[in-house]
Chains A and B, each alone.
Chain A
Amino acid sequence: MSNAGSAPIKIAGLTGRSLVVVLLVLATTAALPLVLSNYQLELATEMLIFGVLAMSIDILSGFAGRTSLGHGAIFGVSGYVVVYASAQAGFSPAAAILLGVIAATAVAIIFALLAVRTSGVYFLLLTLALGMIVWGICLRWTQVTGGENGLRGDVRPAFLAGHRAFYWAVLAATTVVSYAMWRFVRSPFGLTLLGIRDSESRMKSLGYNVPLHLFIGFAVSGFFAGISGALYALFNNFVSPSTVALEQSVEGVLMMIAGGVGTLFGGFVGAAAIIALENVVSAYTERWQTVLGLTFIVIMIFAPDGIIGALRAILPRGGLARERYKD
């Protein structure tokens, strides 16, 4: 019922006004390093990275009706493999990233094999439990994962060491990945997922192999979460069990919801909102955890369709905003 407010997504190519909007957004974000301080730029980088994570969760949640509480683990596995491969095993950064994304996709495939036959709250619980297993392994397999202390190293190649260079690199990667996700959910395959979300039994009777579609959807979603995790590893040069913990999964889901389930690009809006909130609040009070908890509660009660959903409800139809978010 939470999706009642978001009308079915139309298929539209990048033409006309939407192209202009996309280019404007890109130009603005690309120009940010010129006005932001180093620290603000790092926050912006983080927002982009977590935006990709939130979008990857939205592929399952908004378009297949299955919300995963295990994506933090998939994201973190990629991070672990990237740091391990580059800092311990001596791979080049590019190879390390590739390995990280492959590992994350593999984990997602295992998750998917176990989870695709469940739905609703059981899907939540199972993905949560699978994420816990990954967390437990990262915590206890000390020889490889560094246990509690995690892994550190200089993962970022020298030419990306600067704040600006790294931001632009992440922006470029994010743009490509977002476009790929956008094309994915609008492909015939993505539409089938939407059909499954709306009525599984109907899709079954129409002859679709529902578990197979969900399986592929999960794997693709994990692939994108893996990319996000690899970027995060480059960003921090560091990974620890808290990167794969339940909190990470929950935060990703919250960002997705804050942006708006099923809006895809809402992931960025949600990530930006949550990260900004965490930073602003923790600067003023020790009780940031309370504020974060209250934010959860308020969003769930008052803005279940997320920021974009709320904007849609407020803004008059046909305006630029509608064009930008809905088309």
Chain B
Amino acid sequence: MDRRQFLKSSTAAVAAAGTGAVPWRRARAQAAPIKVGLLTPLTGVVASGGKEMVEGVQFYLESVNHQMAGRKVELLIEDDASNPDTALQKARRLVEQGNCHMLIGDLLANTGLAVANYVKGTGTPYFIPIIAADDLTQRHRIKNVIRVAGYSASAFTHPFGDWCLKQGYKKIATVSQDYTFGHEQCGGLAQVFTEGGGQIVQQFWHPLNTADFSPYLGQLADLKVDAIFAMETGADATRFIQQYASFGLKGKTPLLGAMNATDQSVIRTLGEECDGIIAAAHFAEGSDNPATQKFVREYEARYHKIPSLYGFSMYSGIMWVAQALEKIGGKVEDRDAFIDAVLKTELVGSPLGKTVKLDAYGNPIYDVQIRKTVKRADGKYWNVPITSYPGVSQFWKYDPETYMKQPPYSRTFQGIKKA
């Protein structure tokens, strides 16, 4: 009996500490470190991207001496193993065992969606600089899931479709990994391109981790199109670009890619087969913007590689959180104020060299770069902007409410306007 009584009262004490209801407790909580839970795939198919996510966060934290708004930052890193079940379990551990004030990270959409579904219940702020699923800032917004320094999948392919029209392309075929990110990226391009009079001749959907692309390349070669859009990430992108060259398609049909397909994480192990691929993105490591160049130079000095999308996004994402915390004096315990501050913060001093803010739906507005992979002086390949679309909304030029009435992009709905 006594034991039970003891347990009850100690639970009550813990609960009080958690809410910070008692004044002297609050004072002590202020001095306590801000706990950031980082979820990242350190093993599994996207392990190299996951490692760079950690580097991006640590690179920023080192630069501010592990302090945000005068409070020490404690970083708890958990491996989501590229697996949604594991991601969910690790999120639970970070929140319930680690008492993290916030979660940040995840790379694959399925892991991010699993964690988002979980924090919907707990209310823990969850920041997703990499998870690009459109609906997290469109049809199914969750208040505490915020896309700091991230992007929605179709936001960059809308202007890309427009750019294709301007090149005079009439017919395009797409080949894509068969999951939400691929559906959304292809859909953005297909909708704008077909509404402007272009034609999507055929779309191929293949499972993630397709070892042999030759069956698709054989069909693509027969299509007689003006360009091919490849929505590939990670190892699939490496293989696709390589096999595209070895089957002799490179040089015949221009290759357009998702930003992930020509990201540093992919092209740093490639050679001339990746030369000249065009992609649309907010970040181009070969930009001559001084802020970008400073970041790239310092990152390269620290980690001996040109930063990828993952390193850049996580660096900027945690920087965003830090700037928001500055505004509220580091009071991370007050969740509502914290979330509100993050939503209202305009990110300054990021590697983009330009202020970034969120739209009314929580998606950052960027200048979208149309970028091309070219060889740098030292023989490494990187992406250099060739033209730019300023201030692009995730809804492109559509009215947000009308846009969200159309179904989300999927394998069956690509927004294609019939000629």
Closest chain-B Cβ to A317's Cβ sits at a distance in Å of 35
A34 CB–B CB distance under 8 Å: yes
The A-contacting residues of B in range 60-81, CB under 8 angstroms, are: 78-79
A148 CB–B CB distance under 8 Å: yes
The B-contacting residues of A in range 181-211, CB under 8 angstroms, are: none
Task: Tell me if A42 and B411 are in contact (CB < 8 A).
Answer: no
Task: Tell me if A34 and B4 are in contact (CB < 8 A).
Answer: yes
Q: Which of A39, A140, A242, A279 contacts B96 (CB 8 A)?
A: A39
CB contacts (< 8 Å) of B90 on chain A: these are 282
Chain B CB within 10 A, most for which of A37, A150, A152, A283: A152
Task: Tell me if B96 and A37 are in contact (CB < 8 A).
Answer: yes
CB contacts (< 8 Å) of B109 on chain A: these are 148-149
A28 CB–B CB distance under 8 Å: no
B208 CB–A CB distance under 8 Å: yes
Task: Tell me if B178 and A238 are in contact (CB < 8 A).
Answer: no
Contact-size category for B: 20 to 34
Closest chain-A Cβ to B31's Cβ sits at a distance in Å of 24
Task: Tell me if B84 and A142 are in contact (CB < 8 A).
Answer: no
Q: Which of B110-118, B187-195, B346-354 contacts A (4 or more CB under 8 A)?
A: B110-118
Contact-size category for A: 20 to 34
What is the chain A residue whose CB lies nearest that of B7?
A34
Closest chain-B Cβ to A280's Cβ sits at a distance in Å of 11
A289 CB–B CB distance under 8 Å: yes
Are A149 and B97 also in contact (CB < 8 A) when A42-B92, A286-B42 are?
no
Q: Which of B4, B84, B410 contacts A150 (CB 8 A)?
A: B84
Give the docked Cα–Cα distance between A143 and B205 (Å): 14
A257 CB–B CB distance under 8 Å: no
B88 CB–A CB distance under 8 Å: yes
Q: Which of A39, A147, A282 contacts B179 (CB 8 A)?
A: A147
Give the docked Cα–Cα distance between A238 and B83 (Å): 13
Give the docked Cα–Cα distance between A236 and B88 (Å): 8
Chain B CB within 10 A, most for which of A37, A40, A139, A238: A238
B85 CB–A CB distance under 8 Å: yes
CB contacts (< 8 Å) of B121 on chain A: these are 161
Closest chain-A Cβ to B109's Cβ sits at a distance in Å of 6
Task: Tell me if B97 and A238 are in contact (CB < 8 A).
Answer: no
CB contacts (< 8 Å) of B30 on chain A: these are none
CB contacts (< 8 Å) of B89 on chain A: these are 46
Closest chain-A Cβ to B259's Cβ sits at a distance in Å of 19
Are A39 and B93 also in contact (CB < 8 A) when A148-B180, A237-B117, A240-B114 are?
yes
Closest chain-A Cβ to B40's Cβ sits at a distance in Å of 10
CB contacts (< 8 Å) of A238 on chain B: these are 84, 88, 114, 117
The B-contacting residues of A in range 286-303, CB under 8 angstroms, are: 286, 288-289
B294-316 contact mask (Cβ, 8 Å, vs A): 1 or 0: 00000000000000000000000
Task: Tell me if B207 and A140 are in contact (CB < 8 A).
Answer: yes
CB contacts (< 8 Å) of A147 on chain B: these are 178-180
Are A37 and B411 also in contact (CB < 8 A) when A148-B109, A148-B110, A150-B110 are?
no
CB contacts (< 8 Å) of B207 on chain A: these are 139-140
A12 CB–B CB distance under 8 Å: no
CB contacts (< 8 Å) of B93 on chain A: these are 39, 279, 283
Closest chain-B Cβ to A279's Cβ sits at a distance in Å of 7
Q: Which of A148, A242, A288 contacts B208 (CB 8 A)?
A: A148
B412 CB–A CB distance under 8 Å: yes
Closest chain-A Cβ to B265's Cβ sits at a distance in Å of 19
Q: Which of B79, B97, B178 contacts A37 (CB 8 A)?
A: B97
CB contacts (< 8 Å) of A140 on chain B: these are 178, 207
Give the docked Cα–Cα distance between A161 and B121 (Å): 10
What is the chain A residue whose CB lies nearest that of B85?
A242
CB contacts (< 8 Å) of A289 on chain B: these are 43
A78 CB–B CB distance under 8 Å: no
Task: Tell me if B114 and A282 are in contact (CB < 8 A).
Answer: no
Q: Which of A39, A40, A149 contacts B113 (CB 8 A)?
A: A149
A228 CB–B CB distance under 8 Å: no
The A-contacting residues of B in range 161-184, CB under 8 angstroms, are: 178-180
The A-contacting residues of B in range 209-255, CB under 8 angstroms, are: none
A145-172 contact mask (Cβ, 8 Å, vs B): 1 or 0: 0011110100000000100000000000
Task: Tell me if A142 and B113 are in contact (CB < 8 A).
Answer: no
Closest chain-A Cβ to B311's Cβ sits at a distance in Å of 18
A243 CB–B CB distance under 8 Å: yes
Are A286 and B84 also in contact (CB < 8 A) when A140-B207, A152-B113, A240-B110 are?
no
CB contacts (< 8 Å) of A152 on chain B: these are 113-114, 117
Closest chain-A Cβ to B53's Cβ sits at a distance in Å of 13
A88 CB–B CB distance under 8 Å: no
Task: Tell me if A38 and B7 are in contact (CB < 8 A).
Answer: no
A7 CB–B CB distance under 8 Å: no
A213-251 contact mask (Cβ, 8 Å, vs B): 1 or 0: 000000000000000000000001110101100000000
A35 CB–B CB distance under 8 Å: yes
Task: Tell me if B180 and A149 are in contact (CB < 8 A).
Answer: yes
Are A286 and B43 also in contact (CB < 8 A) when A148-B110, A279-B93 are?
yes
Excluding A142-B179, A243-B85, 14 further A-B contacts by CB distance (< 8 Å) are A39-B92, A40-B97, A143-B411, A148-B109, A148-B178, A149-B180, A150-B114, A236-B114, A238-B84, A240-B110, A242-B86, A282-B79, A286-B42, A286-B79
